[in-house]
Amino acid sequence: MLTVERSGSGAPVLCLHGWPGGVSDYRLLTPLLVDVADVVVPHLPGFGRSFTPGDELRPASDFDRAHLVAALVEVLESSFSEPAVVVGYDVGITTAVALAREVPVRALVLGNTLAPSVTVEAVLSDEYRPEFWYQDFHQLELAARLIDGNPAAVRTYLEHFWSHWGARPDALVDESLVEDYSRPGAFTASMNWYRSGSSSLYSALALRGVTEFPPPVDVPATVLWGAQDPIFPVAFAGAVTDLLPRADVRVLDDVGHFTPVEAAAEMAEAVRSYL
């Protein structure tokens, strides 16, 4: 069972963090919801308080999307008696969509969401492919040797993503993440998501030549698209309804990749509209 942070009371809300992130991704959003919502934020497998020494030695397949969804179904069943609004960005986006295929959800509130119909173009094109270098890097043992257990290296690595992916880098610096990712084995465990083949790069490779995609997910949804996100560019926002036909897509011009931190007020408004 995953360790969770829980606060507030009212309608159920499940918040899924990303990489490089943790439950603190929702440190600004949760206070805006606790008056009307029972907010549960799980530490995803291998992250934060769900990490235990030795996770870095387990097969990467233990951390793939299927295992993650199964763990989250347990969280939902043990936490709530009715369908939840599921919130996600980054890793939490595809996980939330996969979760909605498995169990009833009240609604989805997501950051930049690539539909399968554009994933190959968005990830593998000459224009965007260089942005995904880190997903190749995470396959290498060298990544662990250079970064794992080294607080200075962890900080430098996280600062790159905060500054490059975020439009508001001053709001993104999170000392708790530096501490969490610096524990021996923790950085390696966080890379297991990528090593399991669940990342956007591997999803794009699997979709090359595919003409029939999984069926759409017919649930109410709001997608808040940060226009300054370099890895999920706003050019692909128009395809969201291929995946989520009931989605309301809102482009936020001064927001980057880290939606729950950079656009906490807008995300809270979207969540509250479904409660």
Supply the pLDDT for residue 171.
74
Q: Where are the domains of the chain?
A: 4-272
- Whole-number Å distance between alpha carbons of 226 and 254: 7
Supply the pLDDT for residue 168.
82
Q: What are the C-alpha distances in Å from 256 to residues 90, 172, 238?
A: 12, 11, 17
What CATH number labels 4-272? 3.40.50.1820
**Could you report the average pLDDT of every consecutive run of 10 residues in the chain (275 residues)?**
96 97 97 98 97 95 96 97 98 97 98 96 94 97 98 97 89 92 98 95 91 94 97 96 98 97 97 98
Supply the pLDDT for residue 204.
93
Supply the pLDDT for residue 68.
97
Supply the pLDDT for residue 170.
73
What is the pTM for the complete model shown? 0.96
Structure tokens that stand for 237 in this block? 């926002």
* Phi-psi group of 84: left, alpha or beta (phi > 0 → left; psi -120 to 50 → alpha; rest → beta): beta
